[in-house]
Every structure is written in C-alpha cells, then in structure tokens.
Chain A
Amino acid sequence: MKLYCLSGHPTLPCNVLKFKSTTIMLDCGLDTTSVLNFLPLPLVHSPRLSKLPGWVSKDGTINLEKELKECAGRVFVDAQPEFCLPERELLDLSTIDVILISNYHCMMALPYITEHTGFTGTVYATEPTLQIGRLLMEELVNFMERVPKAQSATSWKNKEIQRMLPGPLKDAVDVWMWKRCYSMQEVNSALSKVQLVGYSQKVELFGAVQVSPLSSGYSLGSSNWIIQSHHEKVSYVSGSSLLTTHPQPMDQSSLKNSDVLILTGLTQMPTANPDGMLGEFCSNLAMTIRAGGNVLVPCYSSGVIYDLLECLYQFIESANLGTTPFYFISPIANSSLEFSQIFAEWLCHNKQTKVYLPEPPFPHAELIQTNKLKHYPSIHGDFSSEFRQPCVVFTGHPSLRFGDVVHFMELWGKSSLNTIIFTEPDFSYLDALAPYQPLAMKCVYCPIDTRLNFHQVSKLLKEVQPLHVVCPEQYTQPPLTQSHRSDLMLELQPPPMPYRRCSVLNLPFRRRYERIYILPELANSLVPSEIKPGVSVATVSALLHSKDNKHTLQSVPKPPPMPPSKKRKRVIEEPPVALAPKPMLSGAVALEAFLATLQKHGITEVKVEETADGHILHLQAEDTLIQLEEDGTHIVCDSEPLRTTLRDLVLRFLQKL
C-alpha cells in the first residue's frame, strides 16, 4: 500500500492512496496563497494601482516593468492571479479510480484533476459539499471573469530572473506549475462526475474496497473517510472539529481500530481560541460602528460566516446596532444563505430541532426578513443605490486580490475610522494588505479556525488508537515562529510518518487474509473434526470463482457418467483423475492400540522389533513390513488388497488436514 502526496499544504491536502488494486485520491485542495504575489483586480478602475511603478533590477539589467509592479517596497505580478495546483507529474492522473472529497474547501482543484487529464473515475462527496463547493467555484470563476485581464506574465518565472527578484517572489516554488482559474464549463464538467453519498453510507469500489464518509463536524456535509476491506482499515481525517458550531458533531468512534490514520487539516491557528476571537470580532465591530466608521469583513461566502451572522443576531440588540445595515455581497450570497437552510440532516441537534417546528435552522433568515441583513450579487446594481454608511460589509475574497472586497479596500482604506476584521485563517493578513499600503484603516486580526488543535488531536488519537499515523511534516515539529512550543506538534509512539509535497510513502501494512464465501452446497458437504478442544478442521476441495474482486468457493461438480458402451474396456487404462488430493496427516500411531486393531482384523502373527526411532512390525504370514515412527509410517506390502486394508487401519489413528 502506497501513499502519494501531491500537496504540501497541510490544510489543503491532495493525497493518492493505492490500496488493493484501487487508486483513491483523497481530496484535491487548491493552494490559493500564490495569489498574494499578484496585484489586486479592481472592479472599478483604480488610479492608484495603475500608477504603481514597474520593477527594474537595481543594476538596471533586468527590466520587467510590464509584468511586475512595486508597492510599498514589495513587488507584485500584474496579471490575472494564478493558483498553485497539486502535483500532476508524480503519477498518471488518468489511473485514479475515485476521488473522495472531505469538505467544500478541499475540492477547489477538482477541475484541474478531472478535466484534460484523461480522468475517467468517480468523485464522491456529500450533498452539501457538492452544492456549496459548486457555489464557491462559481464565485471564484465569477470574480476572475468579471475583470478579465488579457495580460499574462511569464518572463518573471524564468529561473534566472526569478533568482534576482526580491522576496517573497524569489522564494515562490514551482511557479511554472501555477495556473489561471478554470472556466465555468470545466467546473460543470468536473462536478458532473460527482456521486452523492450520505454519512455512514458504505460504497463498494470494484468489490475490493469499501469507503464510507463520517461526519467530521467542521462544515456543512464535511466528512472524514474510512477506506477498508474485510481485514484492513485506513482512516482519512481531514478538517475536523469538536466545537459545537452549526454542523453535525464529529463521529469519532468509527475511526477506532485503524491500521493507518492519515491526519490532515488541523487548525492553522493553534494558539487562537475561536470563542475568544468571536468575542473580539464583535467588540471591534461595535466600537468602529459607534465611532461612525465602517467595518469590512473579508470572508468566504459559506462556513464561518453562518456562525458570525448567528453571533451578530444575538449581539445586535445588546450592542445597540439595531439600525446598522449589514451587507453580504457576493455573486452567491443569496444561494449560500438559502442553501444553508435546507440541509437539516447535516446540522447539529439544536438546529435540527428547529426544523422540526418548522423554523429555519439559521437565524439569518430572520435578519433578512427584518431587513437587518441584505445581500447583493455585487456592488453594481441595487447595492449602489441602497448603500448606507456606517455599515458592516461581508464580502470576498479573503485574499483581498479579487472580488468586491478590492473595491471596499480602495474606498475605505484611507480613513482611520474604518476597520477591516480578518476572520479567515487561510492568508497572512500582512501579506494580504501589502498591495494596499500605506493604509490608514484599522486592522484587526481575529482568525477563527475551528479545526482540531494539537491538544484535541492527541486526545482523539489516544482514544481511537490507530497502529500508524501519517501526517504532513509540518505537524511533526513546532511552528517556525514558535520553535519552543513543543506542545504545538504531534508526539506519538510510534512516531508519525511525515510526508511533504511529492513524497511517496510505503505504508506499513501486511495483508494476510481475504474474505471468501463458501456456497451453501459446499458448506453442507464439509465434515469438520475436532482436533483440540474448541478447534475443528475440515478439508476443503472446491472450485474457486473470482469475479469483481469477490471470491466464492463452490463444490466440485461430479464428472458426468461415462457412456456405458465403451466403458468396460478402457476403464483400467485410464489414469486416475486427480480429484481431491489426499489430505495431510498428523498425529502418531500408538503401537499397542495398532496391534490390537490388527488382531481384530485377523492379523495375529506380528513380530515387533524395536528401533532407534520406533518399531518395525513384521507381519510374518503376509510377508509385510510396517515401520512405525513418531512422524511417519512406512508400509512395505506387495499385495494390493492387504495394502489398502492396512492403509485404512493406519489412517484411523491419524488426523487429516
């Protein structure tokens, strides 16, 4: 069993597991941090951005002013942002049988994997994962296509030139593999390969392996996966949470007894407590509004935003924000809010109970009804006429490189009354803000990452006790910036097997047994005999049928009777058809008892001679020798009838296997 690691990003994993003749891809996360190296895509022409100076190397030898722009001491690529894809050269993607998706954040690279690669397999995901994943892809495509940028920048990727560039561009890896965003057509084609599954549904893959998603508690429809055969079990844990937010709680007990547990998607903010961050978020928001400023919350259009809105729903009245408008701007804002209300099965118990009433599970329905929360597909159209300040705006993309958020950065960045509150943990906020410097607006960083922290995960692993743990190498050492914090890493016995991008791991696995089915007719014909107390054996001779990786044993059909006419003459000449070979024998022949048996069968004249290893019996009347030893019996006899009689007598004393 092998594991191919195609992504180095611990929370946006992409691994391929080869297990029992199946090739299974686990997630295909898209690393979007690469877009931080690009200039923002403004929705409206931005004089500031267009006036940025081009970059020329200090000695003037390299001139890339068309491709690279300088802003506040950093260099940015002036082209449509590109993403860092999972490794596509490590193995032939067309050989992948299935892709298992754990949550909607971990499927954003799907079109790159399933389209134009010869992929012919199936993708498995839960319904919320598919629906919300589709929305997020739609949003991404929309953000990009709304502001088309014809220019593509490739010169800077030249190895010789890249070496000369200032950081962080200089240190960017695999830049030649970076790709522009996919099209909606590719998204639709990729998603048409998705087959829906429910939690604890058992899906058979080619009869060889069974896969099953389990609730992971992180987001709507998020799942961990069990990949197992009758005797082996691999657990894939990705993006799980033990906090009580909106999704169904994590199913931990089903992870027990794994041979291998692949652990990805731990919290990116191991030192930030989500509840504390939520409190800070609210108080900063209220403070800014009271001072007459606006609040900008760059966020993804699904996920934590539901919790933020729920928190605000309770907070608004107490903080006297009843008249402040809240705006949610995204091409998928309406769909995201609507979809969140229809997945009762995938919600936590409290929310399910509300649906039984029947009431919408999320209180943002009420915020919308009472006009406190308004949603718009973009800043154009209705929004521009209904827009009132001071206000709170939720909008994407959290990288601040594209989407409506770019507009608000340009609009509000110059006033210190306004505040931007970062809640998403995926991007470094300083890097995100870099192309907007110098900036007057206040910045608050309260990343909310509900995924497992190291304390929770070690407790979990103690409980489910996998034989081996595989994880990204980042989890086996403390974070670079906090090298003294040995509590921010995984310490296990045996130590976890670390992987990095492009690793190929041989998983420690020895398969010894396989499931086979004995058909009833054969089962009825078996004759078990007890060898030891509680242990019986039966010899089995049967036809093996293997079909679709399922094995069955059935009785050997009796050969059809020979036509009677020719039979007589030929029968003796015909060598025996090897039907059932004789079983193996075990045990020993006891001398006294054997002699008694011989006597019963009329063989009385027996001369017994003792040897080093046993006895030699001389049947004088029959001129036959029987050599009895601890682990063998040798019959020397020229008469066939007598030989068979003796054979059967000896067999009585032995066990057959």
Chain B
Amino acid sequence: MLDCGMHMGYNDDRRFPDFSYITQNGRLTDFLDCVIISHFHLDHCGALPYMSEMVGYDGPIYMTHPTKAICPILLEDFRKITVDKKGETNFFTSQMIKDCMKKVIPLNLHQTVQVDDELEIKAYYAGHVLGAAMVHIKVGSESVVYTGDYNMTPDRHLGAAWIDKCRPDILISESTYATTIRDSKRCRERDFLKKVHESIERGGKVLIPVFALGRAQELCILLETFWERMNLKAPIYFSTGLTEKANHYYKLFITWTNQKIRKTFVQRNMFEFKHIKAFDRSYADNPGPMVVFATPGMLHAGQSLQIFKKWAGNEKNMVIMPGYCVQGTIGHKILNGQRKLEMEGRATLDVKLQVEYMSFSAHADAKGIMQLIRMAEPRNMLLVHGEAVKMEFLKGKIEQEFSIDCYMPANGETTTVTTNPSVPVDISLNLLKREMALGGPLPDPKKPRTMHGTLIMKENSLKLVSSEQALKELGLNEHQLRFTCHVQLQDPHSDADTLHRIYTHLKSVLKGYTIQHLPDGTVIVESIVIKVSSSAEDSNTKVLLLSWSYQDEDLGSFLSSLLKKGLPSGIC
C-alpha cells in the first residue's frame, strides 16, 4: 500500500479511502505485504490509524525517520480538531495513533530494505517536505517507483528530489501541477515579499495559512532575512505551539535539509528565528500591521480559519495562500473567486480582504515531472494525485515525448500493465569464459556469435551449462548417432588423384571450414570423413564413403548431395 491519506474536502466517510476494495470483511494484514508512507502530510498519512487500528492491519509500515517523528503529532492535531472541536465520534483515538506508530519501521535514504524474501524497497530524497521520500519497489527484475509528493528545484530549506536511472516498469508520479510551468523561484519570492511589504505599509494584516511543517519554515527563513535586511518592525507571529517544536525537528534532522543549511549549521542554525514570535489568540484583534502564519494550510479548520473569519471583512487585509487547496476547502473556494462563503449554521461570510495565491507548495511542475521521467527512465507511467483534465494534458505530453504508455486511473479503477521481465539464470563460468574468449575482446556487430548450451531446470534453479556438462550433471550417457553413405562418382583417375580432386573442389566451395587432406587417404571436413575406393567392376567408377555424426548433420547432408552431382571438370 502506497500512502494512506485522507481527503481534506470531506467531513464524512468519504474522507478515508474505501478499504473494501481490498477486502469486504475483516483485517487487511493478509492482503498487504507492507505499507509505505511517503511523507507526513495528512493527505498521505491521515487515514493510517484508521486503517491499521480500526479496519485492522498488523504488518510493517515503512516511513523515514522525520516522518515517523512528525506524523503522529499531525495525526493527533487532526484528531483533536475533529473529535474535540467538532465533536465527532467514531474516530481514531490517541491510543490508536500510538499503537499504529508502534508498527512503523523507520527507513533510511538509499537503504535497501528486504520486506520479505522477494520484495525489496529503497527510499530516495523527494524534497517536498522534511523527510519526504520516493520509493523504489522491486521484486526480481520488475520494479515500481512511487514518488509521493516531490520537488525538483531546491528551495531555501530543502534540496531537490533525486533518483538514479533505475528504469522501473512503472513510475507512479503525483501530478498536482500537471499543467503549470512555474517561473523561477526567485521571482515568486520577490512577488511574495512585495505583496507582504505593501500590505504592511498600508497598515494591513497578512494571514498566511500554512501547515506547521514544511512551507512554513521556508517562508519563515524568507521573511526573517527580509525583515533583517529592510529593518522592518511589524511583528511576525507563528500560530500554535508547534512552531518551537517544529523548528526543533528541523534542527535535529538537519541532514535532511539542503546543502547550504547543512554546511553552516554549526556556525549559524537557520532555524533559530529572531523576528518570528509565538502567536496568541488575543493578538488577532491588536491594532496595526502584522504577519501571521497560521495552521492549517487550506483554511478548512482550526486557527487559520478563525483568524480568516476575523479579518475577512477588511479590504486592507490580505490572505496569501502559499500552497495548493483541495476541492471543498474554503481555501479552494476563495481562490476560485468566491466572495460569499456559507459557514456552519447558515451564516454567510463576505470576503473583502485581498486573496493572493503564490505557488510555494513544493510540488514538481510539468517541467519537473518530465525531468524525473528523464532521470528514472520508466517503461510505463502512471499519474495520480492530480485533476483529471490537467492529467490528460500531461499524459499526452509524456506519451509524445517519451513514447511510453501513460495511465491515469480514476478512483476504484484497476490498471493492468504488462511487463516483460528477463529471466535470471546461472551460467557455468566455463561456458561463459569459453564463449567470451571466442568472441574476441570486442563484439562484432556484423558477425554475431551464437552460443549453445543446455538449460537445466531443477526445483527453483535455472542453470545454463554446456551440453557435455549437462550430460555429466544429470548422470546421462551420451548416445552417438552416426550416418554413413556411399556416393558413386565417375572419375577416371587414380584413387589418390580423385581424393585430391575432391579436396580441391571442397576447398573452393566451402569457405571458412576446416578441410584437411590426411596422408592415410582421407579427407576430413570439420568432423566428416570422406574416403575413396574404386568400384570392383569399373575402375573409373569411384565409390565415396562419407561418414558423419548427428552433430554435423547439416554439413554431412549437404556434402553427400554435393558430391552426388559429380566433380566439375575444370579442376585438377
């Protein structure tokens, strides 16, 4: 199972995946070899405790160390909002989150983990958020890469995704920004700072809904350096107690950040902010300009939504959405220009503040997706985590540029991809070395050499050996099949001369064969023996005796029919 997320846009059963696709009744343990979580965002791990503790799964769950550290905190937050604030029942409990996390096996980058005898997985850096990983899943010579969410351009705190040329049979890629090609990061950063600055200048309040970990830290680093440079005084706040803690995770997992931060962390830790302070609920009503980072990022619940409601009525204020918003969330609605929002209890909210969208969320754009395909060289492509219309466009582009099949299954749809794996076999070193020595140091494309051997299939082993060795290994005796045939020939010469004439004739016809004329009165072509004797009745009629083994059948048969036609007159 690749990720186990929840849908932010729903508040009913639809928010969790429909596990009845796996089994109608009972636990999932028997149906899954393992679960792999790519990163800590709830749309990738939000349903994990529900799946493992309420539906039932006891097998291994793999995730990276930072994900393992941060994921339970976000799950607990999510649970609190849902159960404690909205009063929902039939939801997973704190204990369930703990029990679920006990099943987690941490995954290191590039470590090859053997899940069972056949299945092996390997994680690659994905750059999307702290600890985000792509996974390469391999059985025998067939493999799949699942990207999770990834980012192909390094940002202020994380590096870029990377994978080696692993040539998977299928590359399953997210396609959030399937049609977007974003301008350079620098321009976006400048725009962002300009908008924040303008709003502050005219005394407005700026709300930036973010998830506690991820973009938040990048934007904090950005604002921190800007405030320092411009010597600005307006306060910057970061909501929820998570800030301090979140930053601490970044300090302890500094090896997961980008090169620059990693190199300088001993001298200056980029995650110690001077200008950014903890937010208190009461500050929202303070007069004067301020910038507030508040969670969650899609304005679907919690503090960011509360502050939004407070500030929405004033056109001086501004909300900057730095990331993608799922359909159904308020974030999605206001980004689509909706100015009147229906709230709970039939109230409506007029949105007067400025709504800005800045694509800061660290997903690969169309260019990035293509870049990853070029890196991994998959044989098939499968798009997920995106909108159908945009995917369709990208699918066309991929099929055109790379000439590979691209799939985009809808929910509930099954895609079958045919693979064509080669068969691993153990070849006897003697046979291989003999063959390679014969082939010469460099391959000759014009004269391909054919190798012959016997494949022995015993239990689960496949061994390729020379025929002789195969006989020996299987304890079989060799059976020699030989043929002898007589050919009559009119040739008025002595026996010895006839033989010589035959020798000369064969020499001219058979190029590239070993032909020997032996002193004991035989001609040998490869292993075919030819002898001559005069007929008893007529000394001009010679009787040729040809003898060959089954292994030389083709040549023997050819020679007998060739000699039956007699010798051409022109030879001496």
Residues of chain A at the chain B interface (Cβ within 8 Å):
127, 197-202, 212, 230-231, 334-335, 338-339, 341-345, 352, 355-356, 358, 360-361, 511-520, 523, 526, 528, 531-532, 534-546, 551-553, 556-557, 572-573, 575-576, 578-589, 630-638, 640, 643-644, 647, 650-651, 654-655, 657
Contacts and interface: CB of A to CB of B under 8 A. Distances in A.
A308 to B, nearest CB: 21
A539 B452 contact: yes
Contact of A230 (B265, B426, B479): B426
Given A516-B432, A518-B422, A534-B458, A637 B483 contact: yes
Which secondary structure dominates chain B's binding surface?
mixed
A514 B484 contact: no
Contacts of A523: 422-423
A539 B467 contact: yes
A201 B110 CA distance: 6
B254 interface: yes
Contacts of A127: 255
B533 to A, nearest CB: 14
B570 to A, nearest CB: 15
Interface of B: 65, 68-69, 106, 108-113, 122, 141, 245, 248-249, 251-255, 265-266, 420-429, 432, 435-436, 439, 443, 448-459, 463-464, 467-468, 470-471, 474, 476-487, 509-511, 513, 550-555, 557-558, 560-562
B252 A358 contact: yes
Contacts of A358: 69, 245, 248-249, 252
B69 A520 contact: no
Given A199-B108, A587-B476, A631-B479, A513 B485 contact: no
A344 B558 contact: no
A345 B251 CA distance: 14
Contacts of A512: 428-429
Contacts of B109: 198
Given A360-B252, A534-B459, 10 more contacts: A201-B111, A345-B65, A355-B69, A361-B252, A541-B450, A575-B555, A580-B450, A582-B551, A635-B484, A636-B484
Contacts of A352: 65, 106
A344 B110 contact: no
B425 A518 contact: yes
Nearest to A334: B266
A523 B457 CA distance: 13
B68 A576 contact: no
Nearest to A360: B252
Most buried by A among B65, B420, B423, B474: B423
Contacts of A578: 554-555
A544 B480 contact: no
A338 B268 CA distance: 11
A638 B485 CA distance: 5
A657 B471 contact: yes
5 contacts: A355-B69, A511-B429, A520-B420, A584-B471, A634-B482
B471 A586 contact: yes
Most buried by A among B68, B464, B558, B561: B464
Nearest to A585: B479
Most buried by B among A537, A541, A640: A537
A208 to B, nearest CB: 13
Most buried by B among A352, A518, A637: A518
B51 to A, nearest CB: 21
A205 to B, nearest CB: 15
Contacts of A514: 426-427, 429, 432
Nearest to B485: A638
Contact of A575 (B141, B251, B509): B509
B458 A535 contact: yes
Contact of A540 (B266, B439, B453): B453
A342 to B, nearest CB: 5
Nearest to A542: B451
Contact of B560 (A345, A528, A582, A640): A640
B112 A202 contact: yes
Contacts of B487: 638
B483 A635 contact: yes
Given A198-B108, A199-B111, A535-B458, A633 B432 contact: no
Nearest to B512: A575
Nearest to B246: A358
Most buried by A among B69, B422, B464: B422
Contacts of B470: 537, 584, 657
Contact of B455 (A202, A343, A537, A588): A537
Given A198-B108, A640-B557, A655-B476, A551 B452 contact: no
A545 B452 contact: no
Nearest to A356: B69
B551 A581 contact: yes
Given A514-B429, A581-B551, A582-B551, A341 B422 contact: no
A198 B557 CA distance: 63
A345 B452 CA distance: 50
Nearest to A557: B448
Nearest to B123: A198
Nearest to A633: B481
A584 B481 CA distance: 9
Contacts of B421: 520
Nearest to B477: A631
Given A540-B464, A575-B510, A585 B474 contact: no
Contact of B452 (A517, A540, A638): A540
Given A512-B429, A546-B436, A584 B468 contact: yes
Contacts of B509: 573, 575
Contacts of A581: 452, 551
A382 to B, nearest CB: 16
Contacts of B253: 342, 344, 355
Contact of B451 (A513, A537, A553): A553
A585 B555 contact: no
A576 B484 CA distance: 19
Most buried by B among A361, A532, A538: A538
A553 B449 CA distance: 11
A633 B458 contact: no
A657 B467 CA distance: 6
Nearest to B248: A358
A516 B464 CA distance: 9
A568 to B, nearest CB: 16
B113 A537 contact: no
Contacts of B248: 358
B266 A335 contact: yes
Given A516-B425, A520-B421, A341 B252 contact: yes
A539 B552 CA distance: 17
A557 B175 CA distance: 41
A519 B422 contact: yes
A201 B562 CA distance: 63
A636 B560 CA distance: 13
A315 B253 CA distance: 29
Contacts of A360: 252
A586 B479 contact: yes
A517 B252 contact: no
Given A516-B464, A655-B476, A200 B436 contact: no
Contacts of A519: 422
Given A584-B478, A586-B477, A635-B482, A541 B451 contact: yes
Nearest to B481: A633
Nearest to B250: A358
Nearest to A338: B266
A518 B457 CA distance: 14
Contacts of A575: 509-511, 513, 555, 558
A578 B511 CA distance: 12
B426 A515 contact: yes
B480 A631 contact: yes
A345 B255 CA distance: 10
What are the 4 tightest A-B residue pairs by CB atom distance, in nearest-first order? A632-B480, A584-B467, A356-B69, A513-B426
Contacts of A579: 450
B483 A517 contact: no
